[in-house]
Each structure stands twice: as structure tokens, then as C-alpha cells.
Structure 1
Amino acid sequence: MSVYNVILSGGVGSRLWPLSRKSHPKQYLPLFDGKSLFELTIERNLCVADKLMIIGNKENDHLSQEALDKFDIEYTKIVEAVPRNTAAAIAFAALALDENDILIVTPSDHLIEDKDAYKEAMQKAIELAENDYIVTFGVQPTRPETGYGYIEHKGDKVLSFREKPNHITAQDFIEQGNFLWNSGMFCFKAKVLLKELKKFEKVIYETSKTAWKASVNGELDEALSLQIPSNSIDYAVMERSKKIKVVPAGFIWNDLGSFESLYDYFQLNGHDIDRNGNMVIGTDVYTSFVGLQNCIFVNTPTANLILQKEYSQEVKNIYTHLEKNNSSLI
């Protein structure tokens, strides 16, 4: 039995446009003392996993490879021809390994601090996974966040999964005190996950298995991949299985999925803001805000973004609009 860190690296990060784009998603941006979130993910899991597996898509594969070349470690890669969401991606990883191998599945675009607490949470999860549970990690909320899903729990027992709430509902979750942010990280044995996927989403299981069997050196066939229904692992398995446990995590976690979360992180780490809470990202050119509060100015060579911090979740709408119009700006 081996413990694999399986890193999902196929995301686009549309809520961080124009910093994050299809051609260079947020997980590869060297925003953290010259390192990317992808590199930090590899580093923090070296102490909890025996082996490394990267799952990405053909558009991002060269960026993953550039980062991997900085490390003197062995790894395997699965390259998706087309994205089919996390249920298929995780199925590919489980199908590629021995049935008793344990997978620690982590997104490539999360920022996690406090390595000791992280290692402790992972060790608890591995113990549960050895006993045939599928483990998710819940993070203690620090604010009524509307951009995350929530897990209602009692100890390590999951009572319910909740979708991204509105602000009032999120505030209610915080006040109740037994809700955790859903981190999107998982731990399980390969065979346990596959058994549950087959039970609840047989078509995803069968088509993923067919596509994996036909793969060559970890690269998947496009035609076979397109036959796989697109669904998240949350909907396909986590919200339906009776084998789920949650590890309430003590580490500091941020998915940096919006400019509001990026603003908060930068502010904590000494990034300049003016007296009205305005921040500039991406340029050293002198920029002044007049009559504005809590705004963010994002500068890139081909596009600028100006937003009220509290409207960060709506940046995705800009990305969607540009995508529909086949804009080169994404």
C-alpha cells in the first residue's frame, strides 16, 4: 500500500480574471515569494504522502511540467483531453493505482498555512481511510463566506452538505457553530471510492474506466472522454455515500478563489493599501483612488479590472461573457 498525493490542476480560476486565464491559470502564478500555489501544494504534501500524481488537462500540462522540473521527485501524470469535472478526474486516479492505495486528493490552487496542523489532519484522514471511510476536510469558518460550500457536522460525522449560501444563511451557519467550510480535499482507498462511484453513478464509472483503459502513457482519448458525464465528486459520491467522515481541520486555509480572499491574504502579508482600503495588484505605477473605498485595481498587460472588493464573486460573469464571445482575453 502506498499513499499518493493526487493534485488536481485543471482549474481556470475564472473569478481571478484577468490575472488568471486559460493560458495561465491562477495555480501557476508566482504570487507567493516567487512560488506558485501549484508548487506550494507539492511541497506541503511531501511529508504526508509517499508518491505524487498530477491530473491536469492538455492545455495546462506544459505549465505543470515547468513547475515539476523544479523538484527532484518522482511523479506520474494523467492528462485529460477535455475536462469532465472532478468525479471523472478522481476516478482516473483511483483506476490508475492499486486498489488498496490511499489517495489524498488536493486541488492545486489552495493556500494552506500551519504545516503541523496540516500533517495532523492528514494523518487522521489516512487512519479513517484505512478503515474504508471516504474522508473530506472541513475548515473552521472565519466569516460568513458565500463562495464556499458548507458541511454540517458532529465530530467526524457528516450531518449534511450545504450549497454555497446567501449572506444571511452563511451568517446563520456561523452562529450555529457546527458548520465547516467544504475544502474540496479528500482521502480514501482507491477501491472504496470506485465502489461508491459505481454504486451511485454507474455511467460515470463505466465510461471513465473505458477511457482509462484506452489511455496511452496517462494521456486520455478525447472521443472516449466526451462520453463521460460531467459531474463533481461532491454530487456524484460525497453527498450520497454512507461512508463519509469529516476531519475538522486546524490549519489555516484559503482557496484564494476570489479577489476578496486574495486582498485579505495580501493585506495580512503587508501589501500596500491606502487609508480607504483600496489596493493595487499587478503594477508599481503610482495609482490613486478618489472617492472610493475597499476597491481593487488589477493591472495586466492586456486587460485591467476595477472592482468593489465585496463584489468579487461577480468577476466570473465577466469571464463567462468573454468566453461566450471567444475573446482572446481569456
Structure 2
Amino acid sequence: MKNANSVTHVILTGGVGSRLWPLSRKSQPKQYLDLFDGKSLFEMTVDRNRSLADTVMVVGNTDNCHLSKKVLDKSSTSYIDIIEATPRNTSAAIAFAAFASEPDTILIVTPSDHIIDGTEAYESAINQAVEKALQGYIVTFGIVPTKPETGYGYIERSGDDVISFREKPNKVSAKDFIKNGNFLWNSGMFCFKAAVFLEELKLYNIQVYEKSKQVWEANKAGQLDLELSMAIPSISVDYAVMERSKKIKVVSSEFKWSDLGSFESVYDYLVSKGQAVDSNGNMVIGTDVYTAFVGLKNAIFVHTANANLILQKESSQEVKNIYTELEKSNSDLLE
């Protein structure tokens, strides 16, 4: 990528993947599971951007920074490590990355737990985004939808201008969005100059800006202070900046993308990669032990050492309810 500005790939690793319990646990969140051709989503995220950025920066937390280190050490990748003492949502996490960077550095911000296929289309989208970021815009990546998905937020746009951000819709609205043709899935990936993001954060959410700045200035080798961190409002970057800034542009992206936020999306991905299902579409994840399904269609059996999950593929979003119940009882099954 030929431009005078340095490019940093910022990887956000904060999620716990509650909809993928029991595979995803607090000690091993979904982005670190070696489910995908022997690689984890985190490792694939690092590899995908290796040739597109000069520097790698990881914004993680005290529970998972050792997991990131293990993956990055494996490929001898040097990186800047920012370790949050407590999760304060995406606007603070991105603010820390921006405070840690030179003002003119271009930041490509991506989650660590998404799956992306189509290298050429991906690199083309990144290059377009960097061009717009160099002009002072905050760029978001919108994915051309392939179906009326209710698990994603949407971006309404006209060309590369964003008209509105929409929450996860119901089925009827999702079908309307697809029919309209000017809606994209909101990927949660961004590109901008560090200084431009901080200016907009300061303008639209001064509290997050000031409290994050205090926390960053008190950092010790990238490790952030717990007590100071607790004062940062926990707010997503969509609410804090994206939905309010006048500097937003969207790159319409054609690469295949999924946030693998549910067992339904994991199922679809594994099927596309050749994972076996029986004649009724039932799938086993996590064990080679012979498993038979009787009277079930499109069911998923998930095996782990101390918990099993059996679900209808279509009910994947409801797995979060089990996680919530276990959380209430402080169960060690989440660890």
C-alpha cells in the first residue's frame, strides 16, 4: 500500500461469544478457538491484514492478552499491546488505540472474531477505505447483504454517503431493507486517521474522550488502570461517533463476511468448508464419537468436556439465554 502515512491494524479482542457457549468460554472466547482449518479467528484476522499494515496493535483485556500473545508469538509478529483492566465497550477501546498512535497514522480497526473470504475484494475495500481516510473521513465497511439477516445491524446509504445506521431488524424490516437495495450489513470495521477519530469523539462524546485520555496517560507499558477505567462511560462506537459524525463514508464491500455470532453461522461456514452433516442436515461439533440423530432435522450437537448443547439451527440466537442463566448462578461452566 503506497502512501506516506503509516498504517496500523488495530484488532479488538474483547468479546466473549456468549451465543457460542459451551465452545466459547471466558477462558477461551470464540476468537481463540482453533475451529477453522486448525486456525483461530484471531490468527486468521492477523494473517489477513499482514500485508496491508505496517504495525499490529491489539486492544484486549487482562483475561485474554496471554491468548493473543500465544498466537502472535507463534508467527513471530511484533505488536503493540493495550491491555484493558475492564471492558468499557468499543468507543473507549478505539480511543486507546488512537491515543497510542501518531495523529496522522491510518488505523484499520477490525474485530478479531469475524470470518472473511475473498482476498482480492477485501484488499480492494481496504485500499478504498484508506484513500477516503487520507481525505479526513471516518470510513465504515458495509457488506452487500446476501439474505434478510436479522442478526446484523444495517447501514442505509446513498453511494458512499451514510444516510442512517439501523439496529438489528425484525424479519419484515430485513426483507424491506434487501428489497430497497441501498442497505448494507454493518461489519463493525472502520478506517480513519487517529486524530480525526479523536476530534470527532471529543466533539460528540467528550466524557468518553476525556476519561479515556486520562486512562491512557496513566498507562504502564500498555496496561490500563482499573479504578480510572471504571469512570469511562461504556458506550459503543456506533452510538458515540458513527451515528452522529458528519465525516462518515461507507465502502460497499463484496467480500464474503460473517461475524460467526451464532451456531447457525458456524454451521453454514463449516458446511461451506466440507464438514459432514447427515441426510437430515444434522451436524456434530467437538467430538468424533459416533452420534446418531433420530427424528431431528437441522439440529446441532455441540460437545465439550463438561457441557453438551443440543439445538435446532434456527434457534441459535437463543443460546445466549442459557449463558445468561448460568451467569446469574455464577456457574463455573462459563469459565
Amino acid in structure 1 at the alignment position of 2:257: W
**Residues of 2 paired with 1:192 and 1:272: CA distance?**
48
User: Displacement, 1:3?
Assistant: 0.4
Match of 1:41 in 2: 45
Does residue 81 of the first structure (1) align with residue 89 of the second (2)?
A: no
Asked whether the 8 Å contact 1:102–1:189 carries over to 2, the reply is yes
Match of 1:219 in 2: 223
Match of 1:288 in 2: 292
Match of 2:283 in 1: 279
Asked whether the 8 Å contact 1:58–1:79 carries over to 2, the reply is yes
- Residues 118-197 of structure 1: pairs in structure 2 closer than 5 A: 118-197=122-201
**Residues of 2 paired with 1:259 and 1:163: CA distance?**
21
Cα deviation digits, residues 25-44 of structure 1 (max 9, x gap): 00000111111010000001
Cα deviation digits, residues 46-65 of structure 1 (max 9, x gap): 11111100010000011111
Amino acid in structure 2 at the alignment position of 1:137: F
**Residues of 1 paired with 2:47 and 2:154: CA distance?**
27
- Residues 21-32 of structure 1: pairs in structure 2 closer than 5 A: 21-32=25-36
Amino acid in structure 2 at the alignment position of 1:217: A
User: Displacement, 1:73?
Assistant: 2.5
Amino acid in structure 2 at the alignment position of 1:153: R
After superposing the two structures, state which structure 1 stretch, 93-102 or 71-80, moved more: 71-80
Percent identity of equivalent pairs: 66
Q: Secondary structure at the match of 2:333?
A: coil
**Residues of 2 paired with 1:275 and 1:152: CA distance?**
40
Does residue 251 of the first structure (1) align with residue 255 of the second (2)?
A: yes
Does residue 208 of the first structure (1) align with residue 221 of the second (2)?
A: no
Match of 1:12 in 2: 16
Amino acid in structure 2 at the alignment position of 1:240: R
**Residues of 1 paired with 2:218 and 2:321: CA distance?**
37
Q: Unmatched 5+ residue regions in structure 2? A: none
**Residues of 1 paired with 2:210 and 2:302: CA distance?**
44
Asked whether the 8 Å contact 1:47–1:119 carries over to 2, the reply is no
Amino acid in structure 2 at the alignment position of 1:157: D
Does residue 106 of the first structure (1) align with residue 134 of the second (2)?
A: no
Q: Secondary structure at the match of 1:261?
A: helix
Asked whether the 8 Å contact 1:203–1:228 carries over to 2, the reply is yes
Cα deviation digits, residues 160-193 of structure 1 (max 9, x gap): 1100011111111111111110000000001110
Q: Give the TM-score taking structure 2 as reference length.
A: 0.97
**Residues of 1 paired with 2:21 and 2:247: CA distance?**
37
User: Displacement, 1:72?
Assistant: 2.4
Aligned match for 1:67, one of 63, 66, 71: 71
After superposing the two structures, state which structure 1 stretch, 64-73 or 225-234, moved more: 64-73
CA RMSD of aligned residues (A): 0.7
**Residues of 1 paired with 2:37 and 2:265: CA distance?**
17
Q: Secondary structure at the match of 2:223?
A: coil
Count of residues in correspondence between the two structures = 330
4+ residue runs over 6 A deviation: none
Cα deviation digits, residues 260-297 of structure 1 (max 9, x gap): 00000111111111111111111111111111111111
Asked whether the 8 Å contact 2:72–2:78 carries over to 1, the reply is no
Amino acid in structure 1 at the alignment position of 2:221: N
**Residues of 2 paired with 1:203 and 1:210: CA distance?**
11
**Residues of 1 paired with 2:204 and 2:325: CA distance?**
34
